[in-house]
Chains A and B, each alone.
Chain A
């Protein structure tokens, strides 16, 4: 605790609560309220991390969570931002990006080799046949943390929130804006990235605590205002359309929707560019002030203060007032207009005007600064080395300017202009509902920020109708520029860093420009400036000034890069949130689980793939299920099918336009296959249409197509203005397919309906009660057996399932899953849309021409189909079989059909048929190879060529004998 100051009224620490923690294996003790950085700095630890590229020692820079100098790892927790992470008992920290620890990093050798590693060298070096080697090497060298795959999942539930006015930034202007808007009647959310409100009003004091008292009063007013909700330790990390702003809090992300947004986000203090400007001990003035006033830590013992504005003089006064010996104030400017200069001189501190720091000198331990080399600057900013002098110090404090934290403003669409008066970009035209105040608006002096904040708050309230008239006093102009236009001093040895994330030096920018990357966006991509975790908060402005200098253009002409959300790093856990993944269960889900079903995802649905039988393999289970349907009776849950109802006088005509078949002629009590095409004539969906009455149809779609088809049909119903109404019953009705030679026998026990072939023939539909449940029964044969598709209200489905299982017990009823169903329909040669067709398949190619009534006046896709029909067909779907003797690894879906070394087609379905005792399948082949008996060669996944033979479909029950009652009687 050697660097701790006496207690200060502004400090955030609790001195009566000690907190032990460790860093790099050494034990430290901080106070409750300390951050990791403040506790380490107070303990004299200067090197906190190694730089990304050259592994140079780094200490505090911004002390504001805006740079990566203090990125650490705490056990499995990655990217711990030591500047703002509170110390907690037992915290075990390690520096990142080191080989052998932060003190003895073996990779620091790269610093000595830096002359051979200029920016862009990797574009020119790491390619060609050695690329894999370089890739591995770079991956080993790079990285800011080590991921622990066993780390427990953090609970980070997201939430939504809403407000009238969102104020981003709880500094003086933000507090004033929030209070003004709330007093006018608006519900305000006030966010700030710091643990407490107040911003610079609590630490940039110039040695005078009065400003801190005023700020504390503002904080109290905001806390007492019931219409203000404060979110501290929270970043407003982006701006999206309609006022959506993600608020990134320590434990979660809140998606906030604000009717108006006031950006009072302040400004990022900018570093100066000089040799060794990254040594531990060289820090921004605001960092030093935060160390003093928030954590009562002396930043250094002896300081040289480099200034380019009045803020620097106030920082020097703060240092002097808190026990730091200020060796000199080095002012980049020729003329001092800062009133604080008198106070500095009065304390006997020398001021060097129109001087710059030429270099910082490294101490013998190589872990900090020991002196500043200063020299006068010419009018063009060149150092006059003949007059240089060295001032011993253990810290250099830099206050040369600011860059507005305008990322959110850019994202709102605000047009910014470069204002030379304050040497920064300021809002030129704000979008409706967006307001700006304080430093981001070019207003720096404390009193003026309060005025500007109040103006913005009242304007936002008036925009929302809370205030009738708005007094809008605009604060007077700043008396001097808060930023210096050229805080850059060149040095022949380089190491004058512009971007601390990526170790980019001044010379790198000149090299980039020489290579032609002299546009701000190109420069960014070539040098990677602003692309590190800091996202350019401390580098973009200097990079822009350097490029403007190189091109002899103004910053306005050079422009800025795009500020995309999120502009501040966000943990992946926050983005993931709770992890909402909707899924659908049929009403029979628990029945399937009780029967040991292996469930599989089919779109959003969970469906039984097969039912596991103890002692049998998956393949055996599927074959048993299929054989049971062929020989006895099985039932399958087909509730996921799309189910639609259509009523009205135009219903039949509407269906005729939607589907390729004829439905005006379909008799009541009958069903018909239905094929739907898209406008280009491609197969889109299929199902069965049942006519329940003259103006009443009930029809199915594929499982995957149900929502899409309902939307499309609803759209067309509106567009075509037919007199009919459509109802989506996909979820409201469940369906069970009961199939097999004993299905009639089973069903007859549960219904009084006449199930005879005469009364209820193949492809008929009936409405009847089954087990006391009102049902729609369809005689369909998708799996190639006598069967019924039974559709009932969803809440009755479990009762129906139980009744069928009970009634069929004596007949050997068993459920069958998706795999058995696919096998059974494959034996029957039935096509599954989406499996045996793709996004280009026409009905002719899929052998579905029989379902297309081209002589109808109109149906969807008809015109395209006519055009396609004039061209020669390039592929056709055929059945194939493998030799009965085949025993190897069978082909899989999507394996290619090869002809003379070229791709001739592909397999769409394949399965082993227990009925035929061989593999059967469907494949697309050229029409010339589609004749029955043609030999095919299918390339297996492991590269083997498998012989196959084209065979006509269906290969099972080609005469449809099993749909005849005579066969049924015989089988039972």
Chain B
């Protein structure tokens, strides 16, 4: 049953392509011509489930749940079963499942009655992914942060603004060009997406589905 709606459903509605229901959400999985994504691709990954937690005891609670904790603030780590955990400061975390992992439901259930100084954070973000050789060009038009200065082996998490919207960005090193994962408040998502999509088109790229995105990642994060 489709209970959830992607924050980007409205702006993707007219997009031709194949749709599937994933995690109770209708998801654009494939588009007819994904080839321009080699130049620049834009995908909606909002269907991936997310869980947030903050508070002085959040790190130790997550450890107790067998979640690997990134040691430094503003860094991320891959989860053993798929997905990732991002440390958004000293004591706040974002956990996102991969397409096949079930870490988030497990953590949400465990946090139904949270212990002292552990505060669950409802995450209803829009999740966007960028791939292709022109990603730097797009980022330079939309964000004042110098992504090229990053050492991606250190797994940085960037909290910045993009076209005036607060975003969390994780660059992930892949075979040819890094891919960029972007999360933002869902209420800003249509504006952010439309702006990114306009620039993507100008730069010769395209919007792609979640399946189209897989070749750029090797596997989903």
A interface residues with partner B (beta carbon < 8 Å): 157-162, 255, 257, 578, 580-587, 589-590, 605, 639, 645, 647-649, 723, 725, 727, 729-733, 772-773, 793-799
Contacts and interface: CB of A to CB of B under 8 A. Distances in A.
B199 A157 contact: yes
Nearest to B146: A162
A772 B122 CA distance: 18
A876 to B, nearest CB: 37
Contacts of A582: 163-165, 188, 191-192
17 contacts: A160-B146, A162-B146, A162-B148, A580-B163, A582-B163, A582-B165, A585-B189, A587-B7, A645-B119, A647-B119, A648-B116, A794-B124, A794-B186, A795-B5, A795-B7, A795-B46, A799-B2
Contacts of A590: 9-10, 13
B36 to A, nearest CB: 19
B177 interface: no
B141 A157 contact: yes
B214 interface: no
A-B pairs with the 6 shortest C-beta distances? A731-B185, A725-B119, A582-B164, A584-B187, A794-B124, A162-B146
A939 to B, nearest CB: 40
A253 to B, nearest CB: 11
A581 B146 CA distance: 22
A583 B188 CA distance: 6
A contact patch SS: mixed
Given A582-B165, A647-B119, A725-B117, A772 B3 contact: yes
A793 B7 contact: no
Contacts of B188: 582-584, 731
A825 to B, nearest CB: 24
B191 A585 contact: yes
Nearest to A793: B124
A795 B6 contact: yes
How many B residues are at the interface, by size bracket?
35 or more
Interface in B86-135: 114, 116-117, 119-124
Contact of A732 (B124, B140, B149): B124
Nearest to B143: A160
A648 B7 CA distance: 31
A161 B4 contact: no
Interface of B: 1-7, 9-10, 13, 25, 46, 54-55, 114, 116-117, 119-124, 137, 140-141, 143-144, 146, 148-149, 163-165, 185-192, 195, 199, 202
Given A159-B140, A582-B165, A589 B10 contact: yes
With most chain A CB atoms within 10 A of its CB, the pick from B1, B4, B185 is B4
Contacts of B116: 648-649
B26 to A, nearest CB: 11
A795 B4 contact: yes
Contact of B4 (A585, A647, A796): A796
B191 A584 contact: yes
A795 B186 contact: yes
Contacts of B54: 725, 727
Contact of B3 (A645, A725, A729, A773): A773
Contacts of A162: 146, 148-149
A587 B5 contact: yes
Contacts of A723: 117
A130 B37 CA distance: 65
Given A160-B141, A590-B13, A731-B185, 11 more contacts: A162-B148, A257-B146, A578-B195, A580-B195, A727-B119, A727-B120, A732-B122, A732-B185, A795-B25, A796-B5, A799-B4
A570 B195 CA distance: 25
Contact of B114 (A159, A647, A729, A731): A647
Nearest to B1: A772
B84 to A, nearest CB: 19
A481 B10 CA distance: 69
Contacts of B10: 585, 589-590
